[in-house]
Amino acid sequence: MIRIKVPRRFPKASPYTWIAVSVSATVFVALILVNLSRASGFFSSTEPENGSVSGNASVISDAAASGSKAVRFNAPAAPPAGGGDTSGCATNVTGASPACTETPPATAASGKHWNVGFSEEFNGTDYDHNKLTPCFDWNYGDCTSSFNSGYEHYLPSQVTVGGGAAHLVAAPLSPAYSSSACFNSSCTYKSGLLSTARKNGNDPANSYLYSFTYGYVEANLKVVNQQGFFAAWWMLPADPSYNYTYGNFRYEIDILEMLGHDPADMQMHYSWATDSNAYYSPNDTHKNGACADLDYSQAFHRFGVDWEPTYVAFYIDGVKCGQHNATASAPVPNVPMQLILDQMVSNNWQRSVGKPLTNNTLTSDLQADYIRVYQQVAN
């Protein structure tokens, strides 16, 4: 309690006067502390008007708080018994404390909630080789060459993990790798790829590292701004015959196809047949559909798709860009699919629009902060 000394020239105060003065001083100090706590300064870490907090807390919206912001302290769940997740998050919840309650932007059906089916956060010094492989399904000992007559041959060495992200690096390859898959049968670039495919196509007993049917898929990516490079984040059926055709339909979901010369154009496609016209894209009506038109190479952005039995919907940074609704002639995939993330170099699409690689000495780093799959389960 704060005491106030009364000058001797005043008459001696009664005990009641001392009590009143003490109470008034206490209230005065309390008011000062409250006002300090509602402004930037010494107490700003407990209720910031701008900025962020670190540790086991997060900033939330609160209309009653100064600056309409308040701090929520999160009690991390204990790791599973016997080890397992040491991030401070509960089992089947991804991320690291305090970000333990992240959910997809898509709404779960009535009576269901989202559950994490797959997560690679790239928080260590290497990715989990039991979840991802640096080669695609048709790896027969020499990894994978270009999908679309590009310059690249994929090599495990071109995938590294550091700084909380995976780095898929495309760089000149000398001597060139001979493959009919590459442009002019010569792969002049080496590049990085990650997929949930089988580790080796020679072994028919090898199962897919991960495949799933329906769910919300998302990767947090930092794309590049260089002509000739191409970021691809996509899904194909988990089919060891490489046919990918079911009846009259051949499925492919391209969550993101980004041509490096235009980092404001995020291409999103769903294809259901070999006919090039049998596809859906929100880009056909407006660049990026309902999502923002901006330079996406300047920061990390979240690219996702909500694949459900009756529709395929594309998202960027939690905003729905567009949605394809299933019909009898344009159905939605109903077979297990695998995930692929890779960086292509000067493929046939880029060359056809006059935007090939023109400087064969450049390197490019496609970064992934995380890859996640959420699926709906009953409450």
In a domain, 103, yes or no: no
Rounded Cα distance, 340 and 162, in Å = 20
Q: Give the pLDDT score at 18.
A: 41
Q: Give the pLDDT score at 81.
A: 34
In a domain, 47, yes or no: no
Q: Measuring CA to CA, which residue among 214, 369, 371, 368 is closest to residue 304?
A: 371
* Helix then strand then coil, % of the chain, to nearest 5: 10, 35, 55
Residue burial 260-273, b: 16+ Cβ < 10 Å; e: rest: bbbbeebbbbbbbb
Rounded Cα distance, 317 and 296, in Å = 11
Question: Residue 277 belongs to a domain with what CATH number?
Answer: 2.60.120.200
pLDDT in tens, the chain (379 residues): 443 333 333 334 444 444 444 445 444 444 444 444 444 333 333 344 445 444 445 554 555 555 555 544 443 333 333 333 445 554 445 455 544 546 899 999 999 999 999 999 999 999 999 999 999 988 888 899 999 999 999 999 999 999 999 999 999 999 999 999 999 999 999 999 999 999 887 766 678 999 999 999 999 999 999 999 999 999 999 998 888 888 889 999 999 999 999 999 999 999 999 777 799 999 998 999 999 999 999 999 999 999 999 999 999 999 999 999 999 999 999 999 999 999 999 999 999 999 999 999 999 999 999 999 999 999 8
Q: Give the pLDDT score at 274.
A: 76
Phi, psi of 341 (to 5 degrees): -130, 125
* Containing structural domain, residue 333: 112-378
In a domain, 201, yes or no: yes
In a domain, 347, yes or no: yes
Q: Give the pLDDT score at 92.
A: 47
Q: Are 54 and 79 in contact (CB under 8 A)?
A: no
Q: What total number of domains does the chain contain?
A: 1
The partner residues of 72 in beta bridges, in order of sequence, read 58
Q: Are 153 and 177 in contact (CB under 8 A)?
A: yes
In a domain, 83, yes or no: no
In a domain, 40, yes or no: no
In a domain, 363, yes or no: yes
In a domain, 78, yes or no: no
Rounded Cα distance, 221 and 369, in Å = 6
Phi, psi of 289 (to 5 degrees): 60, -125
- Using CA atoms, how far residue 222 sits from 85, 258, 361, in Å, is 26, 11, 21
